Structure 1
């Protein structure tokens, strides 16, 4: 599966309730080093999911920019969650299915800044 196949895909919780769509994928560069040297491989750490529409994000859904602009972005997107890769039960042609319920999801705003 390619990363662009995840973008825009519907996300449902363990009860089958749609919670939003995949807006972004978080990668971490901590994989194995190639035999010939070079940089560590990338791995998928988690997904960023927005409630109302999967759209390109510019950082305003997080801790970036003026508070008024962030509030406007959130009013358009609705809730924004970070889903660790371990919370994904499976990926089908129709949706990303979670092992957690909506109430257990972690808001993106709670992620550490880095």
Structure 2
């Protein structure tokens, strides 16, 4: 599966509830050393938007004016970060999770870097 294939997929939690759609994929460069002398990338987690899948421009986090961030959150609803370890399976265009919505971390709670 290609990363682009993940974008837009519906996400279902462990209770069978529709959580939202995959808006982005978070990668970490900590894999094995490649010939290019760089570390390989691995999927660390998914960024899931509650109301609809849309482009994210950074305002859903802690960047930019507060008023603009509030407007973006009003449109998107909740925005969660779901670690890749929580993904149970990807079948028929749906990402099924092993965790429940109550266990999700909001994207804004991720460390700033």
User: TM range, normalised to the smaller chain?
Assistant: over 0.9
Q: Is the aligned partner of 1:8 residue 2:8?
A: yes
| Alpha-carbon offset, residue 11 of structure 1 | 0.2
Q: Where in structure 1 do 4 or more consecutive aligned residues deviate above 4 Å?
A: none
Between the two proteins, the alignment pairs up a number of residues equal to 113
| Alpha-carbon offset, residue 94 of structure 1 | 2.7
| Alpha-carbon offset, residue 38 of structure 1 | 1.7
Mark the runs of 5 or more structure 1 residues left unpaired by the alignment.
none
Q: Is the aligned partner of 1:31 residue 2:14?
A: no
Q: CA RMSD in A?
A: 0.8
What residue number does 1:50 align with? 49
- Measured against aligned partners, the alpha-carbon deviations of 1:82-110 in whole angstroms (never above 9, x if no partner) come to 00000111111231011111111111111
CA–CA separation in structure 2 for the residues paired with 1:73 and 1:55: 11
| Alpha-carbon offset, residue 37 of structure 1 | 4.3
Equivalent residue runs for 1:1-114 within 5 Å: 1-34=1-34, 36-114=35-113
User: Structure 2 length as normaliser, TM-score?
Assistant: 0.97
Mark the runs of 5 or more structure 2 residues left unpaired by the alignment.
none
1:41 aligned counterpart, secondary structure: strand
CA–CA separation in structure 2 for the residues paired with 1:25 and 1:94: 16
User: Structure 1 length as normaliser, TM-score?
Assistant: 0.96
